[in-house]
Amino acid sequence: MSRDLLNMGSKSKPRNDIFNRVDSRESGKDIWEELEKQFQGSAKSIKTKRNQSINTYEGFKAKEWKSLREAYDRYNIILNDLRRNGVQKFESEINIKLINNLQPEWDI
């Protein structure tokens, strides 16, 4: 089964590179852990991505020259990135953050 996963390939790494990294592993568990590390990244890189997502969320502010729709779309991209990195936010917090960071001309 692990060898089947290798045959599926990857957009980010050539199959031979992946195969060479796991070929010397003794057990299925070792192969799986190496594959997981290759596709998800190390614990440090996962933490870095998570922190970057949080910083982007915390720093969100609608840009003056952008429309409300563009601000909303950008905010949704940031939220999807947070979710993808395992960061959970309450819906009320998400809504309040968006409203508080809109341009003055969009005040309710």
Q: Tell me: the pLDDT tens digits for 18-29? A: 777 777 788 888
Give pLDDT tens digits for 23-61. Answer: 778 888 888 888 877 777 777 888 888 999 999 999 999
Question: Do the Cβ atoms of 34 and 19 come closer than 8 Å?
Answer: no
Is the per-residue pLDDT at 7 higher than 60? Answer: no
Question: 2-38: string of b/e by CB count within 10 Å (b at 16+)?
Answer: eeeebeeeeeeeeeeebeebbeeeeeeeebeebbeeb
Q: What angle do CA 89, 61, 90 make, to 5 degrees?
A: 10
Rounded CA separation 28/64 (Å)? 54
Q: Two tokens at 44?
A: 């440090």
Percentage of the chain modeled with pLDDT above 70 = 83
